[in-house]
Amino acid sequence: MVKKSERPKLGKQDWIKAGSQVLAACGVEAVRIEPLAKRLKVTKGSFYWHFKNRQALLEAILQAWVEQQTEGIIEKIDALEADAIAKLRHLFELAVEDDGAVEVAIRAWATNDAGVARVLENVDRRRLNYTKDMILALGFTPFEATVRARMAYYALVGESSIGVRASRDERLAEIRLQHEILTGWSQQKS
């Protein structure tokens, strides 16, 4: 048996990760302090070392999702030394790396929480504008870039919402074909 003093201490990120997993599996109402403490095999005191209350944990989960699934992805794409077509393709590939379960749960949560709805609206706008800007760099008009960005984004969000469970390889093949369809006209034009 591992002595209490030998157990690794839980950090804030451990609570956020566990909370995100519960959110994805069971929804926001299931993200509760006591069940999370039991899941992590610690006392509730560990929770209060990192968070003031449940609301603070929920805000941290939401912020972590924004950072990882929007800002983190954008930073990775911006850091690439590649042309616009390759960057857009990599953006699409990164978008399908995640199974979308947390995002689906956050979208459900947003239907009953105006603050979460505002965050989600900002995320959607940020992602769409970023994708549109990348498509504009391929030589499409603003209207064409907007339509193409929406097609790509709505397909990805829809796939998660419907719960498509293709394998990773199938998802990558599909997203690469979508990339070719959305950028092919530009490649033929140039």
The residue extents of the domains of the chain are: 4-189
pLDDT digits (tens, 9 = 90+) for 99-119: 889 999 999 999 999 999 999
Given this structure, which CATH class describes domain 4-189?
Answer: mainly alpha
Six token digits for residue 157: 């969000």
CA separation for the pair 164, 155 (Å, rounded):
11
Q: Would the pTM of this model clear 0.75, i.e. be above it?
A: yes
- Residue 5 has a pLDDT of 47
Residue 187, pLDDT above cutoff 50: no
**Residue 112 dihedral angles phi and psi, to the nearest 5°:** -120, 5
Work out the pLDDT band at 159, boundaries 50, 70, 90: confident
Q: What distances in angstroms separate CA 177 from CA 16, 89, 184, one per listed residue?
A: 35, 10, 10
- Residue 8 has a pLDDT of 59
Mean pLDDT of 70-79: 96
